[in-house]
A and B are shown apart, each in its own frame.
Chain A
Amino acid sequence: MTQARRYPMPRRLALVTTAAVLIAPLTILLPSSVSPVRSAQADIPDVVTVMAFPDEASMVKVPLGGTYSMLEVPATVTSVGSVYSVKVDPSDVPAGALSDTGVVNLQIQVTDPDTGGVDTASVSLQTASAASGKWKRTATLSRSVAVTSHRHQFSTFKVRLDPSRPANQASRESNELLFDRDGDGGSDSLPLTAGQIAAWDEWATGSSESDTDDRSGAASCRQQATTKVWTTVGSSYPVGGDNSWLTYSSSESTSTGVAYSYGGGSFSQEGTKSTEDAWGENFPKHSYMRTYRIQIRYRLSYCYNIITGFGWYQVDPVNQTGGTESYALSGDRPDWSRCAPVGEGQWYRGVVRGTDYSNSEGAKIYDVLGIYLSSSHKYSTGTRSYYAIPEGGRRICGSNDDAATAGKIMERL
C-alpha cells in the first residue's frame, strides 16, 4: 500500500483510519486529536489534527534553532464540505498550553491523504475559568474562523479548511526529507526572496544541537528565525485641535495573524494567535490622527505533523517586547456616519463590550513575509481610547456601530 509507505503513520492512526473507512457513510465523531472526517470523494478519510501551541511562557524559552512540540488536544470534529466544526472541552486542554489567564492558542490541520493536500488554521480561545469547563470568548475571530455558540457558553467553533489547496506531493516529500534527514529546516522550499530572508532579525545557523527528536506531541517544530513586528492596536481621529490618546494594557491579549506555507507555496494568513503580558503604556495626548503600535516578536518555524508526516512553515507571534510607537496618519479622515453628539468633557471607549479594535493589515510584517497580517485588541479597563471634547461639543462616530460599541472611533465637528 503506497499510502502507508508515503506516510509514517503510527499504529493508532492506522486503526482509527481503518475504522473510519468501515463506517465511512456516517458522520464520524471521535473524541480524539486525530479525527478522520468523511471526505466526499476520497477513499481514505481526511485526517484532522487538533493541537495547541505551548503557552507563551514556554514559547519564549525556545532558543533560535531549538525545537518545540505542538501539544495534542482531544477534540470532536465534524465536517460539512470544507467547513470543519471543532468541539473542544476546555478541561481537555493540556496544562502546558494554558496561560495564567486561561488563553490557549489552538491549531487545526486537515490532511487529505489521497491528494497529499493539507490546510491549517489557528484560533485563540480563553477559558472562563479552569473549573467552569466553559470558554470565555474568542480572543479574536478571523476570516476563516467563526464561533457558532453563544459567547460565554460555546465550545464549538467552525473553521473553513481546504486540504486540496497545496496538493504538492513532490514538495511535500522533499520537506519531509529535509526535515527528517538534514535537520536544516528545509530552507530550499521556503517561499521568501533573498531580500525578505535578509530582513529577518536573526536566523538559526547550522543544524540544531538542541533537537531532541521530541515526538511526544502532535507536531514537532523547529524555530528558524525571529523578527520584531510593529503591530497596530488602536487609532485616534481627533478633529479641530482636540486631544485624543490611548492607554494600552497588554493584560487583555492582543491577537495577530498566523501565516502558513506548504510545499513551497507562498505564505497566507489562516487565523490568529494571542500574546499577552503585564505591561502597559499611556500614550501622550495629541491632536493629530495617528495609530498606536506595539512591538511583537514573530518567529518562523518549520513544523512536522508526527501523525501524517506532513511538513509546513508557520509564522506566528511569540510575545510582546514592550516596545511602543505612535504613527501619525496623513490623508483623508474616515467617513464613519454613525455619530452621537457629545458635550464638553471627555469621552472614552473601554471595557470589553462591543467590538474589539481590529486591523486586517495591523501586523507590519510585509518586509520579511511579503504579506501583512491582521491584528486586534480588546478594549478594557486598561485599554481605553479617549477624546477630549471642547466647549460647544462635537460628534463621536463609530466605524461599525455606535461609537460606544464600535471597534474604531472618530471625532467629528
Chain B
Amino acid sequence: LTAQPRRRLVALGLGCTLLLGGCTTVAAVDHRSHGSLTIHGGGGGASLAVPDGVDQWWGTFHVAELCADSPVTIVSAMPIWRSRPQSWRLWVRRVDNYDVHKRATSVLGTARGTPPDFAEPYAQIHLSGKFADAVGQTIENTSCDIRSGHYVELILSVKSGSQGADAAGVSIEYENERGETATVESRGWRMVTCGSRHIKWLCSGS
C-alpha cells in the first residue's frame, strides 16, 4: 500500500557543449532516490543583533542537517539572498561523537563570530566538531537522526556592516557517485543579521 520510493530523474537540460568537446547531463534527482542529498531544515528563522562597538561583524547560523543515502559531493552552494551581505561563507560541520544523553548542545542555533574558532572579540561560543568549506565536501552515508551521534550540519556565516543581511535559504548543487548532478534548496529557514535594513518583526521588540 505504501508508495514505494521511486527513482525519478528529470532531465532539465541535456546538452553537448561542442566547444569543450564533451557532454553534460544536468538532472534533478528525486530526494528519495538512491544517490541523493536531503536537506533536513527547519521551519522558521533567527536573527542576530549587532554586537556593541563594531562596524563590521560576522554572524553564524545553522541552516540544516545534510543526509545522503550514498556518497554525494557538494559542487556549489549558494545562499538565497533577500538582502546581500558584505561577505559570506558556507561550512560543513561534522560531529561524530554527539551524546544526546549528556544533554549537550547539538546543532548550532545562531552565534556571533565565525567557525572554526569563533575567535572574534564579540564571539561567545565554542563549538565541537570539524568545520570545512562546504564546496568540495563529500557527504557520506549519514542519517538525519542526530541520536546516532553522527551528523553533518550546514552552517552559514555572514559578514555584515551597518545595513545587515537577510537569507531566505540555501541552494546546493551536488554530484552523486553515478556522476549525476542535482540541486536541492532549503527555503524554510530565514537567517538575518540585523542592521539599518531592519526587518521589524524579526529584529526589534525584544
A residues within 8 A CB of B65?
A: 402
CB–CB B44/A404 < 8 A: yes
A342 within 8 A of B: yes
The B90-117 residues at the A interface (CB cut-off 8 A) are: 100, 103, 105-112
CA distance A158 to B1 in the complex (A): 10
Q: Which B-chain residue is minimally distant from A392 (CB atoms)? A: B124
In the complex, the chain B residue whose C-beta lies closest to that of A388 is: B206
Whether the Cβ atoms of A354 and B43 lie closer than 8 Å is yes
| Contact string against B for A residues 128-167, beta-carbon threshold 8 Å, 1 for contact and 0 otherwise | 0000000000000000000011100110101000000000
| B3 touching A150, Cβ below 8 Å | yes
**Residue from the list B45, B59, B110, B127 in contact with A350, Cβ < 8 A:** B45
User: Which residues, 1 to 54 on B, are CB-close (under 8 Å) to A?
Assistant: 1-3, 5, 32, 40-49, 51
Q: Which residues of B contact A346 (CB under 8 A)?
A: 46-47, 202-203, 206
Q: A154-B3, A388-B206 are in contact. Are A396 and B109 (CB under 8 A)?
A: yes
Which residues of chain B come closer than 8 Å to A384, judged between CB atoms? 44
Q: Across the interface, do A349 and B43 meet the contact criterion of CB distance under 8 Å?
A: yes
A154 to B107, CA, bound (A): 32
A52 within 8 A of B: no
Query: B interface, how many residues as a size bin?
Result: 35 or more
Bound CA span A384–B194, Å: 19
A156 and B46 form a contact (CB under 8 A): no
Residue on A nearest B59 in the bound complex, by CB: A343
Interface residues on A, range: 35 or more
- Please tell me if the beta carbons of A339 and B206 are within 8 angstroms of each other in the complex: no
- Enumerate chain B residues within 8 angstroms of A350, measured Cβ to Cβ: 43-45
Residues of chain B contacted by A347 (CB below 8 angstroms): 44-47, 109-110
**Residues on the A chain within 8 Å of B32, using CB:** 150
Which residues of B have CB within 8 Å of A158? 1
| A234 CB → nearest B CB, Å | 13
Answer whether A156 and B1 are a contact pair too, CB < 8 Å, given A343-B110, A344-B49: yes
Question: Could you tell me the distance between the alpha carbons of A154 and B2 in the complex, rounded to whole angstroms?
Answer: 8
B146, A352: Cβ atoms closer than 8 Å: no
Q: Are B44 and A345 in contact (CB under 8 A)?
A: no
A191 at the interface (CB under 8 A from B): no
B62 at the interface (CB under 8 A from A): yes
Whether A19 is near chain B, meaning CB under 8 Å from some CB there, is no
Point out the residue from B2, B48, B103 that lies within 8 Å of A337, measured CB to CB.
B103
0 or 1 for each of A187-202: is its CB under 8 Å from B? (1 = yes): 0000000000000000
A108 to chain B, nearest CB (A): 15
Cross-chain contact A353 with B42 (CB below 8 angstroms): yes
Q: B43 to A379, Cβ gap below 8 A?
A: yes
**When A343-B124, A345-B194 are in contact, do A351 and B188 touch as well, CB less than 8 Å?**
yes
Query: Which chain A residue lies CB-closest to B5?
Result: A150
Whether a CB of chain A sits under 8 angstroms from the CB of B121 is no
Give every chain A residue within 8 A of B49 (Cβ-Cβ).
343-345, 391
A404 to chain B, nearest CB (A): 2
Instruction: Determine whether the beta carbon of B45 is less than 8 Å from that of A343.
Output: no
**A353 CA to B45 CA, complexed, in Å:** 12
Give the distance in Å from the alpha carbon of A242 to the alpha carbon of B206 in the complex.
Answer: 8
Q: Are B188 and A353 in contact (CB under 8 A)?
A: yes
B44 touches A393 (CB 8 A): no
Per-residue contact bits, chain A 55-73, to B (CB 8 Å; 1 contact, 0 not): 0000000000000000000
Q: Does A40 sit at the interface, judged by CB under 8 A? A: no
Pick from A158, A340, A347, A348 the residue with the most CB of B within 10 Å.
Answer: A340
Chain A residues with CB under 8 A of B203: 345-346
Q: Indicate whether B174 reaches chain A with its CB closer than 8 angstroms.
A: no
B58 CB, nearest partner CB in chain A, Å: 11
Minimum CB–CB distance for B79 against chain A, Å: 17
The list of the 4 closest CB pairs from A to B, nearest first, reads: A404-B42, A353-B43, A351-B43, A388-B206
List 9 A-B residue pairs with CB atoms under 8 Å apart, sorted by A's residue number: A242-B206, A340-B105, A340-B106, A340-B109, A353-B41, A385-B44, A389-B110, A391-B49, A402-B146
| Sample of 5 more A-B contacts, CB < 8 Å, known A343-B124, A395-B105 | A148-B1, A341-B111, A344-B48, A351-B188, A404-B62
